[in-house]
Chain A
């Protein structure tokens, strides 16, 4: 079974600074990988996904993520954070064989200081 770890519970950045949120997964093959964002009181919104091909994927809201097989990682990045990016971010991993219902990480809460 697959698993995913988001090692940072909270991340605080200043507005305009760059951002990297970490995600590590465990799976026997190349998994399906996702990043979701949850704003307060809202459901989760898909930011980006990786299935295969180019290991650098672009998403919505100026986010990107890079799949690194050697490190079993799929870190989320943004070059310049806006105050509206403050939210909870979830990494998820899905199996590529059989049921691909993703397993979610425990989330990283992003705090943006003015």
Chain B
């Protein structure tokens, strides 16, 4: 009955590979997000997406792309992985209002 679930929890991969992280929410929320948390715990918004609008943080490289097959899923696809992509990636969801987020437990990505 997990509200926001991400898979995998850990991902170790080589530079240059392409990988995806999956996210699903069962809260009926309108909007989903991807955040990147770096080694200093700084959280940076990458994308927000609802059925009306995709908002992209302009600092995110175009190697990162969100893919949403339906309202309950927002997957993150990363092409040509680089060492600097190593981080913890969090999925979150909310109603289409400033009501606070529900976060997943994160995916720790390590690029070697």
Contact = CB atoms under 8 A, between A and B. Distances in A.
Q: Bound pair: A and B?
A: yes
Interface of A: 32, 34, 36, 38, 41-46, 49, 51, 88, 90, 94, 96, 99-104, 106-107, 109
A38 B102 CA distance: 12
Contacts of A106: 40-42
B75 interface: no
Given A42-B106, A101-B45, 9 more contacts: A36-B103, A38-B41, A41-B105, A45-B103, A46-B102, A49-B99, A49-B100, A100-B98, A107-B41
Contact of A43 (B4, B42, B45, B100): B4
Contacts of B45: 101, 103
Given A106-B41, A106-B42, A107-B41, A99 B55 contact: yes
Interface string B71-112: 000000000000000000010100001111111111000000
Nearest to B96: A100
Interface of B: 4, 33, 40-43, 45, 48, 55, 90, 92, 97-106
Nearest to B106: A43
A88 B101 contact: no
Given A101-B45, A107-B41, A43 B90 contact: yes
Contacts, number: 51
B49 to A, nearest CB: 11
A43 B106 CA distance: 6
Given A32-B98, A101-B55, A43 B104 contact: yes
B33 A44 contact: no
B40 to A, nearest CB: 7
Contacts of B92: 43-44
A41 B43 CA distance: 15
Residue among A43, A45, A96, A109 with max Cβ neighbours from chain B (10 Å): A43
B43 A90 contact: yes
Contacts of B4: 43
Task: Identify the 10 closest CB pairs spanning chains A and B, nearest first.
Answer: A43-B103, A100-B98, A104-B43, A46-B100, A32-B98, A44-B103, A43-B105, A107-B41, A49-B100, A94-B98
